[in-house]
Amino acid sequence: MPELPEVEHLRRSLAPAIVGARVLAVTVRRRSVIDRGSASFDDALLVGRTIVATHRRGKQLALESDDGRALVIQLGMTGSVTLEHGTPPRGMDARHRHVLWDLLPSAASGDPSPAHRWRMAFRDPRRFGGLTAYASLDELERAWTVLGPDALTLTARELADALRDSRRPVKSALLDQGVTAGVGNIYADESLFAARIHPLRPAGSLGRDESTRLAGHIRRILRRAADRGGSTLRDYRDAFGQPGSAVQTHQVYGRAGEPCVACRRPLEAMQLGGRTTVFCPACQHLST
């Protein structure tokens, strides 16, 4: 499932092409992926408007239009947003494209002919993602108040406040988007290993130094992953269909049974909250 680095890299790869572009038309192939509220499909999907900015909070990407509307894109498990120009995709890549936008980039605003148009496609084979329309950026910001602080800028104090008095395992707390927005299974494992904290430690048992260390590693690891295009395990691609290379930096995720990069003891795996968790039993002691 795409996490914050994948969505942030997607935002970065989309923005240069779509900010300033006008939405000429939209094709909706599966209406069930769209939560449009009381708006028409054209209004919800920004038809006739110019995209003026992109935003992100946690794993959610938002497009802002010149009339103040916002459209949130959630990738779910297998969602993607790609830009196409010229010959449309064929075969498997052409399937599960639920919404298609015809865009006129700002550089071609004087010539709306098909040769200058881009097509943006929302594709989601398993349909756990979707699109949500908001009448204004203020309305979107209110919706985002249920999310915790964005993990890319998470401070030690914000993390300590969110974990205080919690008896949940710290790994489970990190996956709670109300605690911090954007951390998922991959980067929770990576951050806890870097901070040398066992995933089963009660979240509220972390001391100030541990919270500071963990918050710092969360920011560092997420920034590095975003800079490397995110982690492509199977489905994730950026706006131009390119995979990310952050998987090459993973030290524990997906490496159960392999030697720890620090102590060479075999990494172990367990199920926690229905998710596979990988850790080093030597480097990440279960103690308070």
In this prediction, residue 163 carries a pLDDT of: 96
In this prediction, residue 111 carries a pLDDT of: 64
Task: Tally Cβ neighbours within 10 Å of residue 185.
Answer: 19
Burial annotation 72-100 (CB, 10 A radius, 16+ → b, else e) = bbbbbebbbbbbbeeeeeeeebeebbbbb
Q: List, for residues 199-247, the tens digit of each pLDDT value.
A: 999 999 999 999 999 999 999 999 999 988 767 555 666 777 766 666 7
**Annotation says 125 is catalytic:** no
Name the pairing type of β-strands 130-134 and 268-272: unpaired
Q: Choosing from 3, 158, 190, 210, which is the catalytic residue?
A: 3
In this prediction, residue 235 carries a pLDDT of: 62
**Annotation says 210 is catalytic:** no
Q: Choosing from 22, 49, 59, 97, which is the catalytic residue?
A: 59
Task: Tally Cβ neighbours within 10 Å of residue 282.
Answer: 15
**Annotation says 171 is catalytic:** no
Low-confidence spans in the chain with pLDDT less than 70? 1, 89, 91-94, 107-116, 230, 232-237, 242-246, 288
In eight-state DSSP terms, residue 159 is: H
**Annotation says 3 is catalytic:** yes
Residue type, 168: R
CA gap 67, 165 in Å, rounded: 44
In this prediction, residue 77 carries a pLDDT of: 82
Burial classification of residue 71, based on how many CB atoms lie within 10 Å of its CB (0-12 exposed, 13-18 middle, 19 or more buried)? buried
In this prediction, residue 240 carries a pLDDT of: 72
pTM over 0.85: yes
Q: Choosing from 202, 266, 275, 281, which is the catalytic residue?
A: 275
In this prediction, residue 96 carries a pLDDT of: 86
